Structure 1
Amino acid sequence: MAKLISPEIDSLLEKTSRSFYLTLKVLPAKIRGQIGLLYLLARLADTIADSASGNTNQLIDNIREYNEYAQGNRDDPPNLSDLAQLQTNPEEAKLLEKVSEVVDSLERFSEADQKIIRHCLDTIVSGQTLDLQRFGNVEKGTITPLSDDNELDDYTYRVAGCVGEFWTQMSLVHCINTDEDTEKLMFEYGVRFGKALQLINILRDIPADLALGRCYIPIDSMTRYDLIPSDLQDLENMENFRPLFDIYLDLAWGHLDAAVEYIGLLPKRQFRLRAACMLPVLIGQRTLTLLGSQNVLDRDNRVKVLRPEIKRLKNKTLWAMFSRRKCMKLLQSNRDA
């Protein structure tokens, strides 16, 4: 793949982005760098928020200072060296150490693109900050749930739905010329695309989140099914949880179906953009299918699409990407599998 931003930043991106790097490789060159940089900026913020410092208020200050610096409202970069030493992943430690280089990479793009990137980052950071405020200072051994579906929807928008918005805006600025009605649909479906991927992560990671004292299943929904957050720590309660879980599974499927509609709106000649959108949808479909048949409360058997299947889906995407008809047929058959 051709250079995205710079050799050093590209190396950080490849080593920290895992499966997302597969998507970056097929994106149109006109937007590859902007989307890659947003990912890295957001990953840096996420690394700050997830640091095991034991001091939530300090993490909130760190992420606020980082965002101020990234937004251009602070001259000096935050000192993240202490957080870097806490990281178990050496690549994430290096990412924190290179905060200046990552943020300085914004200057490689136009002022208009910088504004779009910064706006999306600001929204993502607001979601991460809310997470720290909600869950960071809870007493050890307790579980804090979200209040209601509005909070859940707001959270999935802030940390992921806004990325679909950003992706759409970059595509419309640099790659696509379409009518106003199609633009409106693309923004609507793009937001739901991002929400789908985040909701899938939430439904897959329930045991891991509970272990951290976090419950993204709203308490008002659980109350209607005579459940409390601690019930979800017992894998034997899956039968009681299944009716409620299926409601959120259906919500995720609905969002993911909107992502398929999004792909269908892309111009025929935008085969790279179509392929970049397809792989996360195909993986998401397979993940939801697995979630529908397995005990998601079993922390020892986390639902995951394995690498051989991801490789198979990638190859199918590459085969279909030049034909919109083949792409839509692949997405439908994968959903029905």
Structure 2
Amino acid sequence: MTPQLNELLKQTSRSLYLSARQLPPAARDTFAVAYLLCRYADSIADTALLPPTRRLHWIQRFAQMITHPQAQEQTQLVQEISGASENKYEEQLLKNFPLCLQAFEKLLPWQKQITLDVVHAVCEGMETDLQVFPPETAGEIRALPSADELEKYCRLMGGAPGVFWSKLISHTVPVKIKETDFWTWGQAIGDALQIVNILRDLPRDLRIGRCYFPEEELQKNGLTAADLLHPENSPRFEPVKQYWIRWGRQKLQYAKLFYGALPKTQPTHRAAVAWPALWAADTLNKIAVEPALLDPGRRVKIPRARIYGTMCLTPLILLSNTLFNTWLQSKLNK
């Protein structure tokens, strides 16, 4: 991994970088390439420079561009999407697509395959965003029709990365369980991380026309997607919010099994698994008690002190599945 790509990973992945840093170099490089490619696709799907139809074109082409790169097509993509981000690191990422592809080519065959699997899934989720929801400037809001659709979306955007993470780990350390079970548990954890993102980002998503919470559930509580634009409707949204918090907490229960399957001789891998689960539980707890989740001025975020506090306490649980389970369950019970 070049220093330039490592810096891009550090600046664009936030707390996830802290977990990825615990992986051995070979696994860390694969994670970095997969993450940056998915982040690049996310930038395509969200750019305000292109209409949704053009973004959809590039998302549908994206996996093919990785496996069969063409310099002219890469240049065209970079030209079309660069220049709109206020984040200088994201702007650097947009301009370094060829560098990401070069790093991908250096991966082993199995590493390429799991990377392509997660890119395909994430791109399918982004196609949902571009095909189901109205253009950001349309002044409309649309909700996903059903809980099944939301669960599928979480599976594509969170569960598939969870499977990627699980396969990456199981290729580098011996796990104490059938690999397919290990991957299923990782998928469940990924589902939970995605619902955390959806709950946390709800006010922002609503203002670009996207409501991931099912229309059928909103109707049961006398709401429409447009009603969620008004913070005073937060109490009426509360039953929907609490249902999906419970769903996320149930998924996070699998982190206990996942953590317990990792050898105690692999403390860095165990830390890399423990942190996202504990932070996700903390975030769900903050969302659960937030009385005005619909207010765009009250973004839910766990404090940096909590992040580093968790890291400092981690050595106490690295050799004990029971202590990790107790710590996580204490958060899930709130």
Q: Normalised by the size of structure 1, how large is the TM-score?
A: 0.92
How far, CA to CA, are the matches of 2:49 and 2:21 in structure 1? Answer: 34
- Counterpart mapping for 1:243-254 below 5 A: 243-254=239-250
- Counterpart mapping for 1:280-291 below 5 A: 280-291=276-287
Corresponding residue to 1:306 among 303, 308, 315? 303
Structure 1 residues 142 and 206, CA gap change in structure 2 (3 angstroms): same
CA deviations over 1:28-69 (Å, ceiling 9, x no partner): 334111112111111111111111125111111222333211
Q: Where does residue 154 of structure 1 map in the other structure? A: 152
Corresponding residue to 1:265 among 256, 261, 268? 261
1:210 to partner: Cα distance: 0.7
How far, CA to CA, are the matches of 1:19 and 1:274 in structure 2? Answer: 16
How far, CA to CA, are the matches of 1:43 and 1:10 in structure 2? Answer: 14
Corresponding residue to 1:73 among 68, 74, 80? 68
Q: 1:55 is aligned with what amino acid?
A: P
Structure 1 residues not aligned, in runs of 5+: none
Q: Where does residue 231 of structure 2 map in the other structure? A: 235
1:264 to partner: Cα distance: 2.3
How far, CA to CA, are the matches of 1:18 and 1:75 in structure 2? Answer: 31
Q: Where does residue 128 of structure 1 map in the other structure? A: 126
Residue 121 of structure 2 contacts residue 160 of structure 2 at CA under 8 Å; is this kept in 1?
Answer: yes
Return 59-68 or 163-172, whichever deviates more. Answer: 59-68
Corresponding residue to 2:93 among 87, 92, 95? 95
CA deviations over 1:79-137 (Å, ceiling 9, x no partner): 21231111211111111111011011012221121111111111111111221112253
SS of the residue corresponding to residue 213 of structure 2 reads coil
Residue 279 of structure 2 contacts residue 307 of structure 2 at CA under 8 Å; is this kept in 1?
Answer: yes
- Counterpart mapping for 1:1-337 below 5 A: 5-70=1-66, 72-76=67-71, 77-78=73-74, 79=76, 80-137=78-135, 140-180=138-178, 183-294=179-290, 295-336=292-333
Q: 1:333 is aligned with what amino acid?
A: S
1:74 to partner: Cα distance: 4.1
How far, CA to CA, are the matches of 1:212 and 1:317 in structure 2? Answer: 39
CA deviations over 1:283-310 (Å, ceiling 9, x no partner): 1111111111112112211111011111
How far, CA to CA, are the matches of 2:205 and 2:9 in structure 1? Answer: 26
RMSD: 1.8
Q: 2:308 is aligned with what amino acid?
A: K
Question: How many residues are matched?
Answer: 330
Q: Normalised by the size of structure 2, how large is the TM-score?
A: 0.93
Return 297-306 or 264-273, whichever deviates more. Answer: 264-273
Q: 1:144 is aligned with what amino acid?
A: R
Q: Percent identity?
A: 29
1:179 to partner: Cα distance: 4.3
1:249 to partner: Cα distance: 1.2
How far, CA to CA, are the matches of 1:209 and 1:23 in structure 2? Answer: 27
How far, CA to CA, are the matches of 2:272 and 2:208 in structure 1? Answer: 33
Residue 271 of structure 1 contacts residue 323 of structure 1 at CA under 8 Å; is this kept in 2?
Answer: no
Structure 1 residues 318 and 30, CA gap change in structure 2 (3 angstroms): farther
How far, CA to CA, are the matches of 2:97 and 2:222 in structure 1? Answer: 46
Structure 1 residues 266 and 115, CA gap change in structure 2 (3 angstroms): same
Residue 26 of structure 1 contacts residue 275 of structure 1 at CA under 8 Å; is this kept in 2?
Answer: yes
Structure 2 residues not aligned, in runs of 5+: none
CA deviations over 1:151-195 (Å, ceiling 9, x no partner): 111111111100111111122222124443xx2321221111001
